[in-house]
Structure 1
Amino acid sequence: MQKGGPPPGRSSTTRRASPRCSAGTSRLRRVCQLRGLASAVGSCSSPASKRPCRGRPESLACRRHGRSSVDGRHRGCMEPPATVGHVLALYPLDRPRAVGAFDASTRNDNLRVVDAGGRQFVLRRYRRNRDPERVRFQVRFQRHLEAYRFPSASAVEARTADPVVVDEEGFPWTLFEFVDGEHFDFSRPEQAREAGRRLAEFHDVADRFVGAATASLLEDDVRRFVATPRAVVDELRDAFGIPSLELELQNFRRRLETIAASLHPERLDALPAGWLHNDYHGRNMLFRDDAMVALLDFDKLERGPRASDIVRGVLSFARERRGSRVLRPVFARGFLAGYRERRGISAEELAAMPALAELAFAPYAAICRMLQADHQDPVAHILGDLQGMRETEAQCAALRQILV
């Protein structure tokens, strides 16, 4: 689904696989060592003994969390090969094996899988979005897109006639067909225009989807930020409030109230609404040359004002590079022109976009709790999001000029 991550680099810690490990397990362990994923393969279970097989020193630390773990099974790390093997056995593939990991979303773990015939797949474990029904909904939605020839990655049906497999710890897994391509190239304005064109097509096709959504905790309803700003901030304070965060939360509330004064709930409700991808950026799609060949990652899919999806796209494809907030007018206007080739954008939507751009970074309690459960620092996430809001606010004058 996604092309491989950073160039392989030999791990500073060498490990020797136990004789009880299978050849496939040893191979996966070696590949993950080479890719610098010290935590990607931890303990494995020997089929004969059912005892843990520890093929690494006790002092080896998880690179993602900086903690030592004997068996690598603390939450937030990729599952050991025994679990991967058990999951793969439930799919109708000929001797599949995991051969490496992708540098992909921080919300999920993604393994490259190859079968005996050389076909490639991506096996995804949903670390934060752990509701199997939500994952099934996302697969149904992707299949709807595919039925209308919108490019995505096809999910493989398991032997249970279900695309989702749930492991013993409750994590859902899905196997997707591999799509070859490259992420967005920030030097290619043609790709920015193509991304805008494809977002309009996505909105068109999504309008024909019939079926109720299973809610996701990965995205908050944008309406809450303008309808009940005090409640949004109080939830954060009650869950994660510490003295050093209080001033930031007070400023956050004031900013939400300022936004709500112009983008009040009635005005927001009047904007054209539909299904939103909600995470439309260059690492969630693949290109060949300047054509998009796959849109990926539907974890944040939900209904809302389409202007929110559009302005997020402008912020993502007009920036100078990943992590930058500086907008490039040529890329921004190209993205909007691509969108307008298929769908119009109303004056009301354009007027709401600067406020929606800021709200795209607004923190909320549910996602922070999910991060905390994944052994990440929710306070650091809140501070990072608030900084993102400030940086986006600083770009709003330039954004308004682009939207004219």
Structure 2
Amino acid sequence: MAPPEPRPRAGLDPIARAYRLGTVTACRYLPDGLLNRNWRLDTDAGPFALKELDALDPDSARRSLAIMASAAADGVPVAAAVPAADGTTVVEIGGHGYYLTPWIDGTHLLGPDMDADISFHMGAVIGRIHAALARPGLLPETGPSTEPPPTVATAHDRIGDYLDQIAARAEPDAFDRAAEPLLRSRLDLIAAHEHLRPSEDPPAGPAGWTHGDCQNWNLLWRGDRIAAVLDWDRVRPNPYGEEIVRAATYQFALPDGRIDLDNIAALVAGYRTVAGIGPEALADAARRRWWRLLTSVWHLKYHYYLDRTASDRVFFSDERLLRWWTANLDAVEAAFTRERR
């Protein structure tokens, strides 16, 4: 028998009272979230999306929701917060924080679903996000909090920690057995490419406040247009090129790890209809993003330290993406710098 779906820890009735929802007639858990927990609620007041804050404190969530409201005023599609009965956007019940947004019908498009026109639109929306977050007075004026590219020694320490954990297990499970050879192979891949580590100089190109996690699971589509940009919990100052590259390589990755390079060029063209960025900045951002992917196994923190498996699938899909990207490094960087066909 399948285990019961998780429910909000504060209980449905207190949440319904806080938001004046009436009766909750259905509650469906949405398992795709990696950090916080999400549900669809069907209620007397209509359908809503409910987020329970695990990795975000209530004050930070309130800041994110205020940013979303400002971005919406500048034409960015968002799911605006529903105020509770007392007017607050985040309620705290039994030591847990929650916020509610209207339910927006839509789908999460993946790499095979994308074409050049859809990609162009996505690029323009990212440009509008950057322009909206740059509105004077919305956020503090600050430079990007960039760190030097990870060193080879740092990567070895990260990967070695998980190899040690697997080795210490009396009976490795299926995930351990699948991950272990990939981690050892990753060490070989790093050794073969350590001469391509990006410069420790600051990243090239424009920077400012960014969404921070603009990727396929945070973009809700209706047809060929974005209906809502979700989860503004990681808004941060960063090079714009970093967000463009991260969004494109995740969105246009195919199941076997290949990246649709023509869609990259279309996304960049769409972005440039709203905001400017040059080829040097994009090539630099692509190299830095590739190196970060090569030296990171962030997914395994959730599996081995937090006993959460939602990121397991991303570990394997990132591995396929990384292998293809490494074999086609020059072609990927060229896609970010060429004109749209």
Superposition TM-score, scaled by structure 2 size: 0.77
**1:88 aligns to what SS in structure 2?**
helix
Once superposed, which parts of structure 1, at least 4 consecutive aligned residues long, lie more than 6 Å away? Answer: 377-383
Unmatched segments (≥5 aa) in structure 1? 1-12, 14-35, 41-77, 214-220
The residue identity in structure 2 corresponding to 1:225 is P
Give the secondary-structure state (helix, strand or coil) at the position aligned to 1:149: coil
Point out the structure with the larger helix share: 2
2:75 and 2:314 mapped to 1: Cα distance? 39
- Per the alignment, residue 195 of structure 2 pairs with 258
Structure 1 position 296, deviation (Å): 0.7
Higher relative contact order (CA 8 A, sep 6+): 2
Give 1:83's aligned amino acid.
G
Contact (CA 8 Å) 2:81, 2:89: kept in 1 or not?
yes
Structure 1 residue 335, shift from structure 2 partner = 1.3
1:313-355 residue CA offsets vs partner (Å, 9 max, x unmatched):
22133333xx442122332222121112112221321221331
Aligned to 2:173: none
Residue 86 of structure 1: CA displacement? 2.1
Would you say the 8 A contact 1:114–1:121 is kept in 2?
Answer: yes
Change (3 A) 1:222 1:97: farther
Equivalent pair of 2:16/2:22 in contact (CA under 8 Å):
no
- State which drifts further: 301-310 or 348-357: 348-357
Q: Return the match for 1:282 from 197, 210, 216.
A: 216
Matched, 1:123 2:88: no
The corresponding residue for 2:125 is 198
1:347 to 276, 279, 286: 279
For 1:398, the equivalent position in structure 2 comes to: 331
Structure 2 equivalent of residue 104 of structure 1 = 32
* 2:101 aligned residue (153, 161, 176): 176
Quote the residue 2:230 is aligned against. 296
Q: Distance in 1 between matches of 2:199 and 2:283?
A: 13
Q: Call closer, same or farther: CA 1:204–1:80 in 2, change over 3 Å.
A: closer
Q: Aligned to 1:376, which of 303, 308, 319?
A: 308
Match of 1:145 among 71, 95, 112: 71
Q: Deviations over 1:69-128 (max 9, x none)?
A: xxxxxxxxx2358623222321233334443233532333221123324x221011233x
Q: Which residue of 2 aligns with 1:154?
A: 80
Shift of the 80–148 alpha-carbon distance from structure 1 to 2, 3 Å rule, reads closer
| Separation in 1, partners of 2:326, 2:190 | 15
Q: In structure 1, what is the Cα distance between the partners aligned to 2:302 and 2:277?
A: 35
Offset of residue 398 of structure 1: 2.4
Q: 1:172 to 1:91 in 2, by over 3 A?
A: same
Q: Distance in 1 between matches of 2:243 and 2:236?
A: 11
Query: Using a 3 Å threshold, how does the CA distance of structure 1 residues 249 and 318 change in structure 2: closer, same or farther?
Result: closer
Larger Rg: 1
In 1, Cα distance between equivalents of 2:36 and 2:324: 27
3-state SS of 1:390 partner? helix
Match of residue 65 from structure 1: none
Q: 2:99 is matched by which residue type in structure 1?
A: T
Match of 1:317 in 2: 251
Percent of aligned positions with the same letter in both sequences? 21
AA aligned opposite 2:69? R
Is 1:164 aligned with 2:97?
no
Tell me: CA distance 1:182–1:241, structure 2 relative to 1, closer, same or farther (3 Å). same
Deviations 1:188-244 (A, max 9, x none): 43221110110111111111263359xxxxxxx652434x55446546656874486
Deviation string 1:258-303 (CA, Å, 9 cap, x unpaired) is 343xx323242x4321122232223322223322221012233322
Alpha carbons of 1:285 and 1:304: their partners in 2 closer, same or farther (altered >3 Å)? same
Corresponding position of 2:59: 133
Q: Does 1:333 align with 2:260?
A: no
Distance 1:248 1:108 in 2: 32
Aligned residues: 317
Summarize the Cα distance change of 1:389–1:210 in structure 2 as closer, same or farther, 3 Å threshold. Answer: same
* Residues in 1 aligned to 2:53 and 2:299: alpha-carbon distance in whole angstroms: 14
1:312 Cα deviation after fit: 1.7
> 1:239/1:86 Cα in 2 relative to 1: closer, same or farther (>3 Å)?
farther
The alignment partner of 1:223 has SS state of coil
* Residue 372 to residue 378, structure 1, CA distance change in 2 (3 Å): farther
**Contact 2:37 2:53 (8 Å CA) reproduced:** yes
Structure 1 pair 319/265, CA: closer, same or farther in 2 (3 Å)?
same
